Structure formats: C-alpha cells, structure tokens
Amino acid sequence: MTLQTDNLVPKLLPLVVAAMLAVLVACGGQETTPDVASPTAAPATATATATPRPSPTPMAMLPTQTPAPRLSPTPAPAVEITAQSEFTEQVYATLEELTEQYSPRESATDQELEAALHLQERLSDLGYDTSIQDFSVNLLSAGVDLDSSTGDSSNSPRAIPISMSLHGAATGLLADAGRAYAEDIPAEGMEGRIALIERGVITFEEKVGRAADAGAVGAVVYNNLEGLFRGTLASESSIPAVAVSQSDGQRLLALLEQGETEATVSVRATESPSRNVIADKPGTDGEGRTVIIGAHYDTVANTEGASDNGSGVATVLTLAGHMADRDFPFDVRIILFGSEEIGLLGSQHYVANMSAEEIDDTIAMLNFDAFGSGTTLQASGDPELIAAASESAREFGLDLGRFSEEEWAGLGGASDHGPFRLAGIPVMFLISDDLSRINSPEDEIRHINPDLLGIATEIGIHMLDWLTGQN
C-alpha cells in the first residue's frame, strides 16, 4: 500500500489515522505541506525509487519507499472474534512460506521476479491458466561523491533522490545554505555551488528553488532528525536534488570547516523490468464477464512485508485453492501486481491495456492489501460490495469498518483498486485498523493476527458466492 498526504478523516478509526500520520511524516514534506520537524525519523532502506511522473489519475501516488517508524499508539478498542475461520491455519502457513522464502520482494528487482515465478507456479499447480504481464519502470538512484582538499574523499554519503528532482549530475564546491531561508543565502550568491541545506520548516520546493535561483547547480538536503527521509517537490526542479541523513549532513558541514570540498550530486534513471502475475479460471456462461481478485506482491526494501502485502497475497492464494474445484458463472481472474509500492505501476499498466469491452465486462475488482496486523478489518469501495462483505464479517463477530473512497484519497492512501475504480469498475478494498508498521522493517510476521487472515479469506469466498447470486 502506498501513502502520500497527511489530511485527517474523522470516520476512520483513531489507530489508522495515527499510524498513517507517522508513515506520512516519515515520507517528508509535500508540495502543500511545510517541511516541519517530525517526532521520529525513518531509517533508510532503499536506494532506488520509481521515476517521478505526472500522475495519470487522481489516485496515482508518488513513491513512499522509505520505511515508516513503528508506533505505539493508543490501542484500538478490543474486538471479540466470536468464531474462527476454518482457513486461518492454512492462510497463515501460506504467509509463513512466502515470508521465509521470498522476502523482501522489492519492486522491479530480481527479488520481485523470483517471487513472481514462485507465485505463478503455485497458481499453475492449482490448475489455473497463468501468464506473466511484463512492463518497465524507471528506477532512480542518487549519489553524492566527494573530492575534498582535506584528503577525506572516502565514505561518500548515502543519498536518495528527492522526488521530482531533475535527472543529471552537477559538480561544484559545497556551500552551507542553512535551511535555505532568504537570509541564509550568501550575499554573493551560490553560482556554481552545491547547496548544503538542512531540512525543516519550509517546503523542499522553496529550499531547492531558492538555492537554484541563487545560482546553485545542485542541492543536498540533510535531515534535521536521525536517519534518512523522503522528500517531494511540487514540480520538477532545475537542478539535481538529493536527500542525506542528519549524520552525513553534519559530516559535510565539518568538512566545510576544514576547507573547500567539491562534490558531485547525481540523480539517474534506469529502466528496469517488473511484472504482474495473472491466473484465469473460465466461467460456465462463456460470456466473458469477469471478477478480478487482486493483491500486490512487491514490498519496499529490507522488510518482510508480512502485512503489506504478504497478508493479501496469502489470502488470495488461499482463495485460489478454494475456488479451484468450484464453478462460477463468470470468469475469475487473479492478478498479483508488481511495483505497487512505487506508484501503483502494475495495476495502472494492467488497466491501461484493458479494452473498453473488457472494462465493461468486469463485474467487480476485489483488492486485498495490508490487513494482517491489528484487531479488525475495514473496507472501502462500492456500497453493495461492502454490504456483502460486512455480512460475512459479522458472522465472525467483526463489525466491518467503512470509509468512502473520497475519504481514503483524502488521506493520501492508494492501492491497486484505484485505477480500476477510475475506469468505472466497481471495487472493494480491504485493509486493517493497524498500519503502523507498513513499509518498515517492523512489518514482520510476529505482528500478524492470524484471525484477520482467515476472516479476510471468508469474506472473499462470501463475495464470490454473493456475486454468483447476482449473476
């Protein structure tokens, strides 16, 4: 699941709101949000992100590949599960196997490819017609290479691109620009310099833009808290701009005190392959009407991704096993999406390649994402689909939380149902009430609530039965 902004929605459970806020603070300033100091800092675990691009739809989100900190918020009210699903042990065992053998599954990497081939094999063994849908993504890498007159040219800082940075490289002498307030810019300007800027208070757009206007050829923004962070510009910058940790920023400042330090700042794009895994089960009516069941299988770097989104993948695989010997009047298409974590790229690619007839013939898209941790489940999407899902959840003592798609978009959340919804296809999106560890090394299987996995599987089965009755 991807996240971007920090607006609050009252109808969401307090724990979800608190968790999302922490994720979003860790992601850095946005185009309309001041780059303020945050109470915690996200550790860096990735060196590549998707190439920033204009959002093709309102739901398309910028990458959020920097992990979020673990929270200890006020616990949500206890939910008493009155019945356990018969699938609980099976889906949890599937999650264990996926987590132990195929984690992490970072977007558009060999890790993702290895997981995709495994998942295709699993679905083929169940009797499905499977295929791989290939697509390409542009991954960004960043660098800060030093050439110091003090002789300390080793240990170049680890850098990540600031989203919407100009691609390219620039070399110049480092110059301290403070927080890039107007009064921080040297009176003589920064012609040909690399601006060293501290994060905080004003937006990255203002920081980098002011340095560029003063003549800087590159910008290095260092964190005002421990660890790395992810920043976003409102529009493409005119100079390469990267982010480094607080400790690396302080080290660069110390080098400046010793003498002139030359640095090369670079932001480069590399085209990399990604893929969706597709499995088909033909329906009995032969009319080509389709129900799509989806979950993304990629993760950010350095995480098990047990909840985000091992929970969804394990549930969909368990559903696939249950469906294998059943007949439905409609075709069932399972899609495990790649590169969700860097901008919903797998689902966007799939929808962009659907014909108008395929869109019209799609009855519903059911999306399972990040519901493994917490005490209850929540849903968004088509009211009739949510009502059917709620009916199933109540059988297990869960009052399925609901929120509108507008509320979810207002929070800045995005998942793979988004492109389908925008194409006019009815969707249902299932998540949990605890997102505090997603995109983090703390998203481990030890934090999983197996009961939620089982109930999510039961909801999926119920939805197929309900759709069968409607068709």
Residue 458 among the catalytic residues: no
- The pLDDT of 330-341, averaged and rounded, is 97
pLDDT tens digits along 93-119: 999 999 999 999 999 999 999 999 999
By CB atoms closer than 10 A (0-12, 13-18, 19+), residue 259 is exposed
Cα(113)–Cα(110) distance, integer angstroms: 5
| Torsion of Cα atoms, 370 then 69 then 4 then 336, to 10° | -30
Cα(308)–Cα(424) distance, integer angstroms: 26
pLDDT attached to residue 41: 29
Q: Which helix (H) or strand (E) holds 241?
A: strand 241-244
| Confidence check: pLDDT of 53 > 60 | no
| Confidence check: pLDDT of 44 > 60 | no
pLDDT attached to residue 112: 98
pLDDT attached to residue 58: 28
pLDDT attached to residue 414: 83
Would you state the structure tokens that stand for residue 228, as one six-digit string?
A: 């790395």
245 vs 413, residue with greater confidence: 245
| Confidence check: pLDDT of 341 > 60 | yes
82 vs 144, residue with greater confidence: 144
pLDDT attached to residue 232: 83
- The pLDDT of 253-274, averaged and rounded, is 92
Three-state secondary-structure class, residue 149: coil
pLDDT attached to residue 426: 97
pLDDT tens digits along 284-335: 988 889 999 999 999 988 899 999 999 999 999 999 999 999 999 999 999 9
- The pLDDT of 209-232, averaged and rounded, is 91
The Cα diameter of the chain in Å comes to: 77
Residue in 112, 340, 405, 458 annotated catalytic: 340
Would you state the structure tokens that stand for residue 291, as one six-digit string?
A: 């129900």
| Confidence check: pLDDT of 411 > 90 | no
pLDDT tens digits along 22-42: 333 333 333 333 443 332 223
pLDDT attached to residue 10: 32
Three-state secondary-structure class, residue 469: helix
Describe the crossing of helices 312-323 and 450-470 by its angle, rounded to 10 degrees.
Answer: 50
Direct distance between the N- and C-terminal alpha carbons of the chain, in angstroms, rounded to an integer: 31
Three-state secondary-structure class, residue 221: strand
79 vs 465, residue with greater confidence: 465
Residue 173, beta-bridge partner list: 262
Answer for the pair 402, 385: CB distance below 8 angstroms, yes or no: no
Answer for the pair 345, 274: CB distance below 8 angstroms, yes or no: yes
Most confident of 114-128, 145-159, 243-257: 114-128
Which percentage of the chain shows pLDDT scores above 90?
A: 65
| Confidence check: pLDDT of 409 > 50 | yes
pLDDT band at residue 413 under the 50/70/90 scheme: low
Q: Which helix (H) or strand (E) holds 146?
A: strand 129-148
- The pLDDT of 71-91, averaged and rounded, is 67
Which percentage of the chain shows pLDDT scores above 70?
A: 80
pLDDT attached to residue 83: 75
pLDDT attached to residue 471: 83
This prediction's pTM: 0.74
Per-residue DSSP letter, 182: G
pLDDT attached to residue 47: 31
Would you state the structure tokens that stand for residue 42, as one six-digit string?
A: 């996200």
The domains of the chain, with CATH numbers, are 78-137+272-470 (3.40.630.10)
pLDDT attached to residue 22: 34
When the pLDDT of each residue in the chain is averaged and rounded to a whole number, the result is 83
Least confident of 2-16, 166-180, 224-238: 2-16
> Considering just the CA atoms, what is the radius of gyration of the chain in Å?
23
Q: Which helix (H) or strand (E) holds 24?
A: helix 14-26
pLDDT tens digits along 351-381: 999 999 999 999 999 999 999 999 999 999 9
